[in-house]
Amino acid sequence: MVAGCVLLSLFAGRLVQLQGLDASTYAVTASQIGRITETLPADRGDILDRNGAPLAQAVEAYHVWVDQTEVTNPARYALQLEDILDDDAATLQEKLTGDRRYVYVAKSVSGSVWREIQALKLAGIGADNAEVRAYPAGAVGGSVIGFIGSDGTALAGLELSQDNQLAGEDGQVVYRRSPTGQRIPTGPVARQDPVTGSGLRLTIDRDLQWHAEQVLADAVDNARADGGVAVVLQLEPDAHEIVALASVPSVDPNDPNELEPADRGSRAVEEAYEPGSVFKPLTMAALIEEGVAGAESVYSVPDRIRRSGHTIRDYYNHPEQQMTLTGILAKSSNVGTLLATEAIGKDTFHEYLDRFGIGSATGIGLPAETSGRLPADMSDLTRDNVSFGQGVSVNAVQMASAYAAIANGGVRIDPTLISATIGADGQETPTEGAEPVRVVSEETAAEISEMMEAVMGEGGTGSGSTVDGYRVAGKTGTAQRIDPDCGCYRQFNSSFMGFAPADDPKYVVVVSVMNPRNGNSGSGLAGPAFADILRFALEGTGVQPSQEDPPRLPLFADEITTDDDANDADANDADANDADATADDPDQTDDDTTIDGEPPDGAAGENEPSGGPAP
């Protein structure tokens, strides 16, 4: 009896513990037995071009799985699934055979394929929703759009930088399973629906993007270059919209592993380089705005000059010439540019370049954008170098934005790549742009535009890249590029930039070819691509041809006259006498800067701040 009482008291104590003291703990533990939580992935938002054409979109897809314990005849299952899944029966039979409760048979199959499988009513076969991203345009805009990994992780381009908007919020469903793995239909179920991510409407025009990429790829191949970039801005009254942003090589988001990781981004924002003579219009805008020079100001220009122990020279040998500021730009004289720039204070010069956006990231929304480099403290030599585009580094979008400021009457508007976000209900919310910045006066911008038209005229370095029917304001450039192997100037970048129609600008086009091996002329290598892309943009959108001829500005002092007929005669004489000053040979550098082969103090190499060579 004593032993019985002791035993019963132990039972009683245990019951008090279970049902009284620890009841809530055990209730929670019991509630988790057989409890299964599954994630319901959210669809990513679509990425559309300006006209609504899809560049990236979520598509219906499923991961098909099998409970092997419910498959009574794996061979029969395999034969039924072989044609639907486009897989051999032997491989499928191996996946279907065994005692595992959850094995993938096929991943990321389309909705139509899964519905065919459902129609077979095979016991033990199920499917889960899958996150699948499709890129209908393939490689078109691939360096801009980016891509996601097989696990749904955003890895590059807008997919990465705008992931918070595109990804949405995953949901979840909670249910119970029996000890044999079957879902209990009467068990309590909790469900939180996923929230679809916001879509993006870009300013990119898919057709123009395709054309720009094709033309740029041909230019890179012809030049045997490492790569190239092309930027097209469409000038709207209150926005400068990027309608094409091409990089070569270009990644196909459907198969990004075809390219090395370093080539999968957008060179147009990621690669900083010394622009060379395409920088000169910005310099001359500062000079004219400060009132220290005008289009017809005359300078005595030798073909080379010593500065701070370095020799700076023009791309062609010539006697000392009496050149106008327009002629310095049209002939792309480095010596003339630095002589004119000495009239402006270094701090003032720096301020103008800062207003043009040099040294500041454009913020268009792509990852890994470089801000380039604008030296904060300029020595005399650095000021000289920067005046003609060395000792400073930029990305291609920055240069397009700076040229757009000139085309826009001296007002810079930050370029736009994303025009709106698109909610799950289809409602669009326009993106807000930054405040416009007045860089130079409208009069100065107009004068620079006319000077750039002279670059495209007779005797100018860009005369071979005009567009029939349209007045074009442009500039050539061949910039020395630091070779990291020697830390010296041994490579080149060749560029052509401009806008049209010059009398009513609608488009800005920038083309740069990186490290060409088949010559280095900006006019010869980048010029044809510039003209082709600009023509396609103008004609494709129905821009009316120019109605008036461009003004003819004197390039040399002896051409300055008030008599138009005498002006024409003097210009012809000047062309004949100074034939050696033209740049018609496409194999010749049109504005190559040589500084004794070594980067001076303050030079900025590719992706390198002032003061040393690229690593």
Give the pLDDT band (50/70/90) at residue 406: very high
Superfamily of structural domain 206-253+274-581: DD-peptidase/beta-lactamase superfamily (3.40.710.10)
The values of phi and psi at residue 166, to 5°, are -75, -35
pLDDT single digits (tens) 478-499:
998 877 778 788 889 999 999 9
CB 482 within 8 A of CB 608: yes
Instruction: Report cis status (omega within 30 of 0) of the bond before 609.
Output: no
Q: Catalytic residue at 360?
A: no
Task: Please name the residues in contact with 176: beta carbons below 8 A apart, sequence gap of 6 or more.
Answer: 34, 35, 36, 183, 184, 187, 188
Beta bridge partners of 323: 299, 556
**How far is residue 473's CA from residue 465's CA, in Å, rounded to a whole number?**
11
DSSP state of 595: S
Taking the C-alpha atoms of residue 413 and residue 437, their distance in angstroms, rounded to an integer, is 7
Closest CA to 528 of 451, 450, 588, 463: 463
Q: What is the pLDDT of residues 425-473, one digit of tens each?
A: 999 999 998 899 999 999 999 999 999 999 999 999 999 999 999 999 9
Q: Is 579 helix (H, G, I), strand (E, B) or coil?
A: helix
Q: Whole-angstrom Cα distance, residue 131 to residue 127?
A: 13
Asked which of 129-138, 261-270, 324-333, 382-391 is least confident by mean pLDDT, the reply is 129-138
**Structural domain 37-170+184-199, CATH architecture:** Alpha-Beta Complex (3.90)
Confidence of residue 140 (pLDDT cuts 50, 70, 90): very high
H-helix or E-strand spanning residue 58: strand 54-59
On whether the CB atoms of residues 68 and 98 are closer than 8 A, the answer is: yes
- Strand runs labelled E in 85-166: 103-110, 125-129, 132-134, 147-148, 154-156
Residue 470 in tokens: 């349209």
pLDDT of 190 above 80: no
Under 8 Å CB-to-CB from 543, ≥6 apart: which residues?
A: 470, 501, 506, 507, 537
pLDDT digits (tens, 9 = 90+) for 507-542: 999 999 999 999 989 999 999 999 999 999 999 999
> Taking all residues of the chain, what is their mean pLDDT, rounded to a whole number?
88
pLDDT at 575: 39
Q: Which residue is listed with tokens 């701040």?
A: 609
Cα–Cα distance for residue pair 146/169, rounded to 1 Å: 21
Please check whether residue 475 is in contact with residue 280, taking contact to mean a CB–CB distance below 8 angstroms: yes
CB-based contact 67:126 (threshold 8 Å):
yes
| Per-residue CA distances from 405 to 288, 314, 369 (Å) | 15, 28, 21
Distance CA 354, CA 286 (A): 11
Rounded to 5 degrees, what angle do the CA atoms 423, 425, 431 make?
30
Residues 552-606 pLDDT 10s: 999 999 999 755 544 444 444 433 333 333 333 333 444 444 444 334 333 333 3
d(CA 546, CA 551): 13
- Tokens representing 33 are 């037995």
What letter does residue 224 receive in the DSSP assignment? T
Torsion of CA 60, 65, 71, 76, to 10 degrees: 60
Catalytic residue among 143, 161, 198, 277: 277
For the segment 28-57, what is each residue's pLDDT rounded down to a tens digit?
666 666 677 777 778 899 999 999 999 999
Domain boundaries, the chain: 37-170+184-199, 206-253+274-581
Q: What is the pTM of this model?
A: 0.84
